[in-house]
Chain A
Amino acid sequence: MSVLNNLIGGLSLGSVYAIIALGYTMVYGIAKMLNFAHGDVIMIGGYMCFCAMQYLGLPPVVGILIAMVVCTVLGVLIESLAYRPLRGAPSLAVLITAIGVSYYLQNAALLIWSSNPKSFTSVVALEPIQLAAGRLTVTGEAIVTIIAAVVIMTALTIFTSRTKMGKAMRAVSEDRGAAQLMGININRTISMTFAIGAALAAIAGVLYCSAYPTLSPTTGSLPGIKAFTAAVFGGIGSIPGAMLGGILLGIIEIFSNAYISTQLSDAIVFAVLIIVLLIKPTGLLGKKIREKV
């Protein structure tokens, strides 16, 4: 039974990674840049929801909405202020800017909320479900997180394949110059991508803090890095890949925690990543792109 319990724990942790990884992968796929500030947007989302619920006494749903709106605005702002001026710059410059934004957000949070940890009240009111005479427990957070991850992945897949904006995003991803010639507004498309990514980060932040209720300015950095790993693991740029990578990563982490060693679990996670990349350099579901010379 403990195997099943751990599996559910892994699925739930993995689903949070998956939601974060979806944000990473969207931005990478379309803007071709690694947004290292993504993890910190998660943290901001968590704080926003915390403040709305704790200080303003608003219901959890409103808290999530506020977090999403604030993060969306923040995502668009970051993109237009920090990344847009570097559109033509070498990718290294953009990468370093992203790291700078990440530190900026962390320190801003440090100033606003201080580094004292806050205890996050779960937004999920669902009681845990006991199965098999209490030996198997599924928490409300696990159920909500897993469902949220599946819904978000499906919605994103439909969005990118069916809607006009989604098609524009794929066009920009395929060939930015050609897309522009076809009359697609590159800046607006990329802004939109960042808005979606940041909104996802807000949801992920709230769900992550609900499952692990501690909130500090560095809350987002480790899950951010792990989700980035998940995105690479699944094949960066691929939406189902991010989902698969996230869930596998969560399961591997919980299982190595339970059956191998609590200290080595992070090392094992990254070792698996290295092995996968050695065998399949584009990740599990990554597309092989042949560069034309």
Chain B
Amino acid sequence: MKKVISILLVVLLMAAVFTACGSKDAAPAPASNAPAASDSGSGTIKIGGIGPTTGAAAVYGTAVKNGAQIAVDEINAMGGLQIEYKFQDDEHDAEKSVNAYNALKDWGVQMICGTVTTTPCIAVAAEANSDRVFMLTPSASSPLVNHGENGAYDYDNVFQLCFTDPDQGLASAQYIVDHDLGKKVAIIYNNADAYSTGIYQTFKAKAAELNLEVVSTTTFTDDTTDFSVQVADAQSNGADVVFLPIYYEPAALILRQAKSIGYAPVFFGVDGMDGILTLEGFDASLAEGVMLLTPFSADAKDERTASFVKKYTEAFGETPNQFAADGYDVIYALWNAAKAAGINDKTSAADACEKLIATFSGGSFSVDGVTGAGMKWSKEGTVTKAPKAVVIQNGVYVGF
């Protein structure tokens, strides 16, 4: 009997192995049926994306992946320079992200849309810098991804499409003061996370400069689920604005905790708050009145945004968030730059890297996207565009 079972198990195991291989072979291999022409403006370039499509930060990666897909489809339908696009999951984990990057390199990637989140991006940036692969990150906003703390290193191949963390901190403090959202501010941030800490530091400095009183500063780490202490500290110090430079998952817990003790200040988040409404099972009424700084708002009336929102909603059944818009813009920025620099399928990743660096930091290159018009890049890889804030009303973002 035991023998029969073990033989059965072996057969099952073999079957599992073979089916696994089979599904790998069946992975979509976009046919590059566009004739490989020698002139620039045609041919196919390979763009690889990296970001979390599973795990705690999955909302961001999935949105970037989908937003980028819309841009790729639009471009490929237009003719001319075509894009072959492949997205790898990194689970918001630095080690997995480097693995994802290596997988893309084996595939022959020429430029990278990613990575989506900051901590993995720092790890991949180091690899890509020594390999000379160009990266345009849609949303990794820390200065650590391209020049480290106080310029400890300089990854000239890493550019950002989003605001940097210092900019987000500065803009948030300025917004709270300009719109007179409150006099006393509490900050709850994750001090185990580079993104959160980075925004906190510039916010604190700017708040001091603007005479915005910070009455409570509390921290937490990745494993924290109990926020009673942090929220109670903000409440007992009489904060009327709570600044949350954090991702949406802990933010959801903080909103819940505040509600349960009957504390209702203005919650002000940054781009990490984006996605809170898509958290499965989340009670959207908890987020009523939450404000967040984002360069994209889906209810904007311009033609470009309206068309993008319509296509995205049709394809994926939900309203695109800022990350989807970032992903969309990254593809257009890369594509425009590749066209301008004369990159085609024959260009090696290293050559493409140098050409793209020259184009992006050339000064005359600018891109109009759904997250801002006339985006330009500095030599340091940071972008210039105007910040906007939105407020959540009845479960949707409304421009503020």
Contacts and interface: CB of A to CB of B under 8 A. Distances in A.
A and B bind: yes
A119 B220 CA distance: 19
B280 A121 contact: no
A212 B225 contact: yes
A5 B228 CA distance: 9
Given A5-B232, A212-B253, A128 B262 contact: yes
4 pairs of A and B residues whose beta carbons are closest in the complex:
A119-B282, A212-B225, A119-B281, A137-B261
Contacts of A5: 228, 232
A66 to B, nearest CB: 16
B380 to A, nearest CB: 32
Q: Is the interface of A mostly helix, strand, loop or mixed?
A: mixed
25 contacts: A5-B228, A5-B232, A6-B228, A9-B229, A13-B226, A50-B281, A115-B56, A115-B58, A116-B58, A116-B280, A117-B56, A117-B249, A118-B280, A119-B252, A119-B279, A119-B282, A137-B261, A213-B253, A213-B256, A214-B252, A215-B281, A216-B56, A222-B223, A253-B226, A262-B224
Nearest to B250: A214
A262 B281 contact: no
Contacts of A258: 229, 232-233
B228 A9 contact: yes
A270 to B, nearest CB: 13
Given A6-B232, A118-B279, A141-B260, 15 more contacts: A6-B228, A9-B229, A114-B54, A119-B280, A139-B260, A213-B252, A214-B249, A215-B281, A216-B56, A254-B229, A257-B226, A257-B229, A262-B219, A262-B220, A263-B219
A163 interface: no
Contacts of B252: 119, 213-214
Nearest to A140: B260
B191 A263 contact: yes
A5 B235 CA distance: 12
B32 interface: no
A217 to B, nearest CB: 10
B263 to A, nearest CB: 9
A137 B263 CA distance: 10
Interface residues of A, number: 37
Interface string A224-254: 0000000000000000000000000000011
Interface string B209-231: 00000000011110111101110
A139 B256 CA distance: 11
A211 B260 CA distance: 10
B39 to A, nearest CB: 45
Interface in A1-24: 1-2, 5-6, 9, 13
Contacts of B225: 212, 214, 222
Interface centre among A1, A2, A212 (most CB of B within 10 A): A212
B283 interface: yes
Nearest to B248: A117
B221 to A, nearest CB: 6
Nearest to B249: A117
B236 interface: yes
Nearest to B279: A119
A117 B281 CA distance: 9
Nearest to A110: B54
A134 interface: yes
Interface string B233-262: 100100000000000010011001000111
B91 interface: yes
Interface string B273-290: 000000111110000000
Contacts of A254: 226, 228-229
A212 B226 contact: yes
B80 interface: no
A150 B229 CA distance: 24
Nearest to B259: A128
Contacts of B233: 258
Contact of B54 (A116, A134, A212): A116
A254 B228 CA distance: 8
A54 B252 CA distance: 17
A65 to B, nearest CB: 20
A48 to B, nearest CB: 14
Given A212-B225, A262-B221, A2 B260 contact: no
Contacts of B236: 1-2
B281 A115 contact: no
A230 to B, nearest CB: 15
Contact of B229 (A54, A118, A140, A262): A262
A267 to B, nearest CB: 11
A36 interface: no
Interface in A118-148: 118-121, 128, 130, 134, 137, 139-141
A212 B224 CA distance: 10
Nearest to A257: B229
Contacts of A213: 252-253, 256
Nearest to A8: B228
Contacts of A120: 281
A140 B262 CA distance: 12
Nearest to A141: B260
B55 interface: yes
Interface in A95-118: 114-118
Contacts of A216: 56
A115 B56 CA distance: 7
B218 A119 contact: no
Contacts of B228: 5-6, 9, 254
B197 to A, nearest CB: 12
A254 B262 CA distance: 20
Contacts of A140: 260
A5 B236 CA distance: 11
Contacts of A128: 260-262
A94 to B, nearest CB: 21
Contacts of B58: 114-116
Interface in A195-235: 211-216, 222
A2 B261 CA distance: 12
A170 B221 CA distance: 42
Contacts of B191: 263
Nearest to B228: A9
Contacts of A118: 279-281
Contacts of B223: 222, 266
B64 to A, nearest CB: 15
